[in-house]
Amino acid sequence: MGKDNITLAVAIATAGRRDILTETVALMSNQIRQPDEFLICPARFEDVDVEGVRGHNDVVQIVEGAVGSSHQRNAMIEASNADVMVFFDDDFLPSPSYLAEVEALFAADPRVMVATGHVIADGALGPGLEMEQGRAILTQDTFRGPYSVTPIFNGYGCNMAIRLAPVRSHGIRFDENLPLYAWLEDVDFSRQMAAHGNVVHATQLRGVHLGTKKAGRSPGRRLGYSQIANRIYIQRKGNMNVFQVWDGNIRNLCANLFKSLNPEPWVDRRGRLSGNLMALKDLITGKLDPKKILDL
């Protein structure tokens, strides 16, 4: 990069999780290496307790952006002067060494374009974790290596570090045609970055994803439509192959179909199934469009 010191930005796009966001920012005061920039882009102004978050980190900058994960992440990219941006979900709890390890990784290997970490526990795969549970799991993580850095197809958006030089020079952005929750926008962005270097999974980057279900997520029908439509859209751009698209689509469709008979309390399976079927109908009739969820 031509200089010894890497500047780091933390970027959090948030929606409907005001209190959780404040607690997440508070937890990050324990980072060994503090960020040079701390950007938060809320979907709505009331989604962030400005005094609360700045009380825990006085470099916090509130960035205005349109509603939607892709829009909000792009707004923070455009507001940053850093070398590396670390995207965290508003309910991702990084280990104290996370940012220090990001700095070391990106300084040591200029070919790393995207790095995603090891999720010790992921509440998104179940009913979600409470903040106290997440903190306890993080404290109990005693793994100290050996660590590994291995190639991976895409970063996981809940914790994903990106090198900003190619983003700026090639005009790379999160695709704003994937609206709202922007299902799989991390895949699409990672594959754009892969044209310029390596996308890696680094086990020294560690944290807990609460996977909070109480607020901030899209309703079932919208998410179900996105599960089908977004993969096909990304494949048509050349950033996923046909096998990946239909393997994922069939898995989602089958899960929503069979689990709708006895759905989990925290998942709107019937809504998701309805959205899946709407998307398949639109595919057959030539009307498939990820932005259609704005009208659902």
Q: What is the DSSP string of 16-82?
A: S-HHHHHHHHHHGGG-SS--SEEEEEESSGGGS-HHHHHHH-TTEEE----SSHHHHHHHHHHH---
Q: pLDDT in tens for each of the 296 residues of the chain?
A: 344 689 999 999 999 999 999 999 999 999 999 999 999 999 999 999 999 999 988 899 999 999 999 999 999 999 999 999 999 999 999 999 999 999 999 999 999 999 999 999 999 988 999 999 999 999 999 888 899 999 999 999 999 999 999 999 999 999 999 999 999 999 999 999 999 999 999 999 999 999 987 654 557 999 999 999 999 999 999 999 999 999 999 999 999 999 999 999 889 999 999 999 999 999 999 999 999 999 98
- Residues 6 or more apart from 173 whose CB is under 8 A from it? 70, 74, 77, 167, 189
Cα distances from 222 to residues 146, 152, 203, 232, in angstroms, run 42, 28, 33, 16
Same domain, 18 and 48: yes
What is the pTM assigned to this prediction? 0.93
How far apart are the C-alpha atoms of 213 and 181, rounded to whole Å?
13
> Of 179, 209, 239, which one is at a domain's C-terminal end?
209
144-155: pLDDT as tens digits: 889 999 999 999
What CATH number is attached to the domain comprising 168?
Answer: 3.90.550.10
- Asked if residue 215 belongs to a domain, the reply is no
Same domain, 245 and 137: no
The whole-number pLDDT of residue 57 equals 87
The structural domain count of the chain equals 2
- Asked if residue 3 belongs to a domain, the reply is no
Same domain, 42 and 117: yes
Full residue range of the structural domain in which residue 269 is found: 220-290
The whole-number pLDDT of residue 218 equals 56
- Asked if residue 114 belongs to a domain, the reply is yes
Token pair 């920039």 is at which residue?
37
The whole-number pLDDT of residue 108 equals 96
- Asked if residue 2 belongs to a domain, the reply is no
10-50: pLDDT as tens digits: 999 999 999 999 999 999 999 999 999 999 999 999 999 99
Same domain, 166 and 195: yes
Contact between 69 and 180 under an 8 Å Cβ cutoff? The reply is: yes
* HSE of 159, CA atoms in CB hemisphere, 13 A: 27
The whole-number pLDDT of residue 20 equals 95
